[in-house]
Structure 1
Amino acid sequence: MKWFQSLRWRLLVLFFIVSFMPLTFFSSVLLSRMEFYFVKKAQQEWLSKANLVSIQTKEGNYLKDASNYNYFSSRIIEMSKEKDFDCRILVVDKYGFVVVDSSFTALNKTIMNKQIFDALNKKDSAEKYQLGDQTIINAAVSVPDKNNKDEVLGVVILSGNIDSVYKSLADMKSQIYLLSLVTSLFVGILCFVTSSLITKPLKTLMKFVQRITTGQLDQKVDVVGKDEIAELGNAFNHMAEQLQRVEQSRQEFVSNVSHELKTPLSSIKVLTESLIFQENVPVEMYKEFFTDINSEVDRLNNIISDLLTLVRLDQREVPLNINTVNLNDVTQGILKRLIPLAKKKEIKLIYESHKDITAEIDEVKFTLAISNLIENAIKYTPNGGEVKVIIQSDLQDVFITVKDTGIGIAKEEQSKIFERFYRTDKTRNRETGGTGLGLAITYKTIVMHNGAIVVESEEGEGSTFVIQIPLRHVWEGGTR
C-alpha cells in the first residue's frame, strides 16, 4: 500500500468517493421519482380506460336491462383483447355480483373489497400491487345510472400488467448507475492528473524544508500567483528569513560575548605578565596594576551577571512577582539614586507627573529596566545637558517617557539598539563602563510586562524613549 502514501493517489481515491456517493444518492432519488411518475401515469391511463368501459356500460344501460346481456358480455371480452386495453375487465353490480368477467374466472360470483366499496361511493381509484413476480394495476370506476346520476349501478374493474414500466426503469437504472460510476472515475482521474498542480509546488517546498533542516538557511522559493500555495510559499520565505536572522543574531551574540569576555581577560593577562616578568617592581605599581585587575574582574562579573539575567528572562526561569506598585514612588527612588551620577556631569534631572499612578508590575525587574534607561540617558548626554522623565496614563496603560539632550542615535541604528552587545559607537560602552546589555534587559523586561518600548532620536539633538505597559498585568490565559 505504499502507493496510497502518495498525496496524488489519496486525492484520486478521495475525489472518487466524494463524487460517487452524491451521484449514487442522486441516482437513487431520481429513479424513485421516475418510478413514482411512471406508475402515476399508468394509473391515470388505466382509470381513463376504465372510464371508457363505464361510459359504454352506462349508455347501454346493461346493468338495468338484461335483454342485451349477450352483446354486452361479448363487447367486454372483445375490448379486453384490444391492443389499447389488453387486460382483464370485470363489471359488478351494486351488490358486488360479477355480471361480466373477460377471463370467466369470477363470473357469477360476489366480490366486495375496499376498492369496489369506494367506487360504489363514487371514489374511483387505481391501485398497484404485486402478484408473484408481476406488477398489477387495478382501476375501479363507478357506473352511474343513465337517468339518475346520483345513483350508482355498479363498478367497472380493469386489471392489467405494468411490467413494461419496471423493465424500462430497470434498463434506465443500469444506465444511470453506470453513468455515475463512469463520471466518478472520470472526475477522479481528472483530479489525479490536475493534482500535480498542487503536489508539485508542495514537493518543491518540501525539498527546501529538508535543506533547511540540514542547516542550509539561505533558501527561498519562487512564489507565483496569489492562491493558498503562494501564501504558503510566502510564509516559508518569511520563516527562512527569520531563521537566517536568528542564526545571524546567534553568531553575532556568540562573537560579541567572546569579544566582551576576551577584552578584560586580555587586560588581566597583560597586567599580570607585566608584574611577573618585571624585576624590582615598586609597591605603587603593584597597587595600580591590582586595582586595574580588580576593575577588569568587576567588568567580567557584570557581563556574566547581565548575560545570566538575559538567559533567565529568555527562558522565563525567573517568574514575575507581580504586585500593585506606585510608579511615582519607584521612579523618584531611581532618580534619587542617580542624582550623584548626574551631578558629576552637571546634568539637570527633571521629573514630571500630574497624578499618582499605580500599576501591576514586578517592582525589582521593572526598576532595573527603568534604571538602565535613565542611566544611559545620563551617560550619553554631554555635560550641562538635561534628562527629563515623564509619567502619564490613560484608562488602560501607563506611559513612561525618558527624554535627553544627548548625542542622539542615527536613524538606521535605532531598530538595533535593543540587540545584545549592539553599539552605535564601538568604543562608547567601554568608556562609560557599560556591558552593552542594559537596553536588551530593559526591552525583555518590558515585553514580559506585555508592554512596548519605542525610540525617537536625531543625531546631536537627543533621544526620547517611550515605555507603554498595561495598568493591570495580563497573564497567559487571562487577567488574574
Structure 2
Amino acid sequence: MRMHMLLIFIVVGVVPLSIFSYVILSTYENKAVNNKRLELQGQGNILSNIIFPTGYLTTSEVNATDHSRIDDEVNRLAEIYNGRIIIVNNNLNIVKDTYGFDEGKYLISEEVIRCLNGSKPWFHDRKSNYIKLTYPITNNNTKEIVGAIVMNFSTREIQTVRLSLEQRAVMFALTLAILIIVFAIYFSRKLTKPLTSVVNSIDRLTEGYLEEEVSIKGFYEIEKISDSFNHMISRMQKLESSRQEFVSNVSHELKTPITSIKVLADSLLMQEDTPVELYREFLVDITDEIERENKIINDLLSLVKLDKTAGDMNISSININELLEQILKRLRPIAKNRNIEMIYESFRPVIADIDEVKLSLAISNLIENAIKYNIEDGWIRVSLNADHKYFFIKVSDSGIGIPEDAQDYIFERFYRVDKARSRESGGTGLGLAITKNVIQMHRGAIKVYSKEGEGTTFNVRIPLNYIV
C-alpha cells in the first residue's frame, strides 16, 4: 500500500506538472514564432510599398539614388533581424540578395511561384531554427503581383529562451518531485502505521486473544476504523461468551432430562411388584422429560436446517389472514391455561408470496414468547395490515418486557435475557434467532419495542411479492 501511495503521489504531482510545463513551453514557442511571422510580414509590406513605385525590379528604370536607398533599407532590415532577404521579379530573376551570392541568377522554388500566384507562404524549421517567409510585391493600382520578397530569419533567440525556460521547468519539476517523494514517504508511513496496528490486532484476534482492543489516534477515518474494529471485537466477545454459555446450558439442558429419565427408570427397576399407578406416574414424568429434550433438539435442528437451506424457499401465494388464524387457533389453548386473552385484528385481506412453513414457524415463535413471558390474566394482541408493497404483522403483549440494554442482542443466537426464567420455561435462546432468520429470508425486517414491566411489541414487515 505504501508503494502504491508513493506512485500515486508521484503520478498526481509530477506528471501534471510535466504536461503543464510542456504545454506552456510549446505555447510560448508558437506564440513567439507567430509574432515573428506577423512582424516580418509587416516589414515585407513596407518593403513592397517602397520597391514598386521606384521601378527597383527593372534596373533600367530606377535611378541610382532610389536604388541605393532601397538597398540600404533591405540591408538594414536583414541586419536587424540577422537574416537574409532576396528580392525576385516576376521573371524569377534575383534582383537583390543581401548575402550577395545569387544576384542576377534565377530563383525557382515552390514558395516563390505560390507567392507570385497570390499567396503568402511561410514555414518554421524547428530543427534548423529559422523562419522562411515569402511576401508578394504588388502594383497598388492594378493589384498585379510583380515580384516577391523572400525572407529567411533565425529563430535561435526564441529557442534560447525556450531552452532556458525548459531548464528552469526541469529544475522546478525535480525539486517538486523530491519534495513529493519525501512527503509521500512520510505521509504513507503515517497513514499505514495505524493500519499496521489494525493488522497486528487482527492477527492477535485470529490467535484467539479477544480481550485486546485497538487505540489509534490520527485521521478521523482511521479512528473510525479503530472504533469499528473495537466494536466488532466487543460483539465477538459477547458472541463467544454467549456461545460458551449456550454450550454449557445446552449440555446441562440435554443432560438433565437424561439424568432424570435414568433415575426414574432405575427407581422402577429397583422396586419389585411396583403398583400400576406408580408405573403410570413415573412414565408420565419420563414422557415430560423426553418432551423437554425433544424441544431443545428440535430448536437446534430448525436453526441448522434454516442455515443449510437458506436458498430453498418454497414460495407460494398464501392467504396471510387464514395463516394467522390457524396459528392462533393452535396456540389459544396454551394461552388459556394462563388465562391470557388473545386478540386478533385484521384490517384487510392479505395475499402474499411466502414460504408457509418457515413463516408459520417465525410467527409462532413470537406468539409463544408472548405467552411464555406474559403475566397471569394478561393479553396478547396480533394485528395484520398491508399497503401496496408490504404486509405488516404486529405482536404485542402485556408481559414482563425486555431490558433496554438487552434489546440489541435478543435476535442473536444463544442469547437469553433471563437465563433462569428461560430454563424454567424451556427456552434455549434460539427462537428469536430462528424468527429473524426466516423474516430476512423473505427479504423482510423485524423490530422490537419494549419497556420492562409494561410489555413488548414486535413489528414485522415482509414484501407482498417475493424478490429473488
**TM > 0.5 fold call:** yes
Bigger mean CA deviation after superposition, 358-367 or 137-146: 137-146
Aligned residues of 1:140 and 1:155 also touching (Cα < 8 A)? yes
Match of 2:91?
95
Aligned residues of 2:318 and 2:352 also touching (Cα < 8 A)? yes
SS, match of residue 92 in structure 2? coil
2:286 alignment partner, one of 285, 290, 293: 293
Pair 1:282 & 2:274 matched = yes
Residue type at the aligned position of 2:23: V
Task: From the superposition, tell whether residues 325 and 17 of structure 1 become closer, same or farther in structure 2 (CA, over 3 Å).
Answer: closer
**Distance (Å, rounded) in 2 between the aligned partners of 1:10 and 1:416:** 41
Pair 1:42 & 2:28 matched = no
**Distance (Å, rounded) in 1 between the aligned partners of 2:320 and 2:67:** 117
Residue type at the aligned position of 2:199: M
Pairwise CA distance, 1:303: 0.9
Quick one: percent identity of the two aligned structures? 39
2:19 alignment partner, one of 17, 22, 25: 25
Pairwise CA distance, 1:304: 1.0
**Distance (Å, rounded) in 1 between the aligned partners of 2:128 and 2:427:** 104
**Within 5 A, what are the aligned runs for 1:242-253?**
242-253=235-246
**Distance (Å, rounded) in 1 between the aligned partners of 2:74 and 2:341:** 126
**Within 5 A, what are the aligned runs for 1:8-407?**
8-51=2-45, 53-54=47-48, 56-58=50-52, 60-63=54-57, 66=61, 68-69=63-64, 72=67, 76=71, 80=75, 83-84=79-80, 86-111=82-107, 113=109, 115-117=111-113, 120=116, 126-129=122-125, 134-143=128-137, 148=141, 150=143, 153-224=146-217, 227-275=220-268, 280=272, 282-283=274-275, 284-316=277-309, 319-381=312-374, 384-407=377-400
2:443 alignment partner, one of 426, 444, 450: 450
Long gaps (5+) in structure 2: none
Pairwise CA distance, 1:431: 4.8
* CA deviation profile, 1:52-80 (whole Å, cap 9, x unmatched): 54455456554465463598369727953
SS, match of residue 185 in structure 2? helix
**Distance (Å, rounded) in 2 between the aligned partners of 1:415 and 1:185:** 53
SS, match of residue 100 in structure 1? strand
Residue type at the aligned position of 1:192: I
**Distance (Å, rounded) in 1 between the aligned partners of 2:174 and 2:299:** 72
**Distance (Å, rounded) in 2 between the aligned partners of 1:218 and 1:199:** 24
**Distance (Å, rounded) in 2 between the aligned partners of 1:53 and 1:299:** 119
Residue type at the aligned position of 1:392: N
Task: From the superposition, tell whether residues 111 and 402 of structure 1 become closer, same or farther in structure 2 (CA, over 3 Å).
Answer: closer
**Distance (Å, rounded) in 1 between the aligned partners of 2:363 and 2:124:** 93
Aligned residues of 1:88 and 1:159 also touching (Cα < 8 A)? yes
Aligned residues of 2:268 and 2:274 also touching (Cα < 8 A)? no
**Distance (Å, rounded) in 2 between the aligned partners of 1:66 and 1:418:** 115
**Distance (Å, rounded) in 2 between the aligned partners of 1:32 and 1:458:** 76
Aligned residues of 2:411 and 2:432 also touching (Cα < 8 A)? yes
Aligned residues of 1:47 and 1:126 also touching (Cα < 8 A)? no
TM-score normalised by structure 2 residue count? 0.82
**Distance (Å, rounded) in 2 between the aligned partners of 1:408 and 1:194:** 53
Task: From the superposition, tell whether residues 347 and 197 of structure 1 become closer, same or farther in structure 2 (CA, over 3 Å).
Answer: closer
**Distance (Å, rounded) in 1 between the aligned partners of 2:254 and 2:122:** 105
Residue type at the aligned position of 1:300: E
**Distance (Å, rounded) in 2 between the aligned partners of 1:75 and 1:379:** 121
**Within 5 A, what are the aligned runs for 1:426-465?**
426-429=419-422, 431-432=424-425, 437-459=430-452, 461-465=454-458
Pair 1:472 & 2:465 matched = yes
SS, match of residue 219 in structure 1? coil
Task: From the superposition, tell whether residues 226 and 265 of structure 1 become closer, same or farther in structure 2 (CA, over 3 Å).
Answer: same
Task: From the superposition, tell whether residues 186 and 149 of structure 1 become closer, same or farther in structure 2 (CA, over 3 Å).
Answer: farther
Task: From the superposition, tell whether residues 154 and 73 of structure 1 become closer, same or farther in structure 2 (CA, over 3 Å).
Answer: farther
Task: From the superposition, tell whether residues 251 and 110 of structure 1 become closer, same or farther in structure 2 (CA, over 3 Å).
Answer: same
Residue type at the aligned position of 1:249: S
SS, match of residue 25 in structure 1? helix
Pairwise CA distance, 1:261: 1.5
Aligned residues of 2:51 and 2:70 also touching (Cα < 8 A)? no
Residue type at the aligned position of 1:254: V
Task: From the superposition, tell whether residues 145 and 400 of structure 1 become closer, same or farther in structure 2 (CA, over 3 Å).
Answer: closer
Task: From the superposition, tell whether residues 168 and 373 of structure 1 become closer, same or farther in structure 2 (CA, over 3 Å).
Answer: closer
SS, match of residue 447 in structure 1? helix
SS, match of residue 246 in structure 1? helix
Aligned residues of 1:351 and 1:388 also touching (Cα < 8 A)? yes
SS, match of residue 108 in structure 1? coil
Pairwise CA distance, 1:140: 3.7
Aligned residues of 2:135 and 2:148 also touching (Cα < 8 A)? yes
Pairwise CA distance, 1:323: 1.3
Residue type at the aligned position of 1:264: P
Pairwise CA distance, 1:173: 3.6
SS, match of residue 385 in structure 2? strand
**Distance (Å, rounded) in 2 between the aligned partners of 1:9 and 1:415:** 42
Residue type at the aligned position of 1:107: E
Long gaps (5+) in structure 1: 1-6, 476-480
**Distance (Å, rounded) in 2 between the aligned partners of 1:323 and 1:462:** 34
**Distance (Å, rounded) in 1 between the aligned partners of 2:428 and 2:82:** 111
* CA deviation profile, 1:393-430 (whole Å, cap 9, x unmatched): 22222223334444545555555554556555545455
SS, match of residue 195 in structure 1? helix
SS, match of residue 394 in structure 2? strand
* CA deviation profile, 1:99-145 (whole Å, cap 9, x unmatched): 33344433223335454456556755654458xx7444344444456
**Distance (Å, rounded) in 1 between the aligned partners of 2:451 and 2:176:** 71
Task: From the superposition, tell whether residues 413 and 15 of structure 1 become closer, same or farther in structure 2 (CA, over 3 Å).
Answer: closer
Task: From the superposition, tell whether residues 139 and 62 of structure 1 become closer, same or farther in structure 2 (CA, over 3 Å).
Answer: same
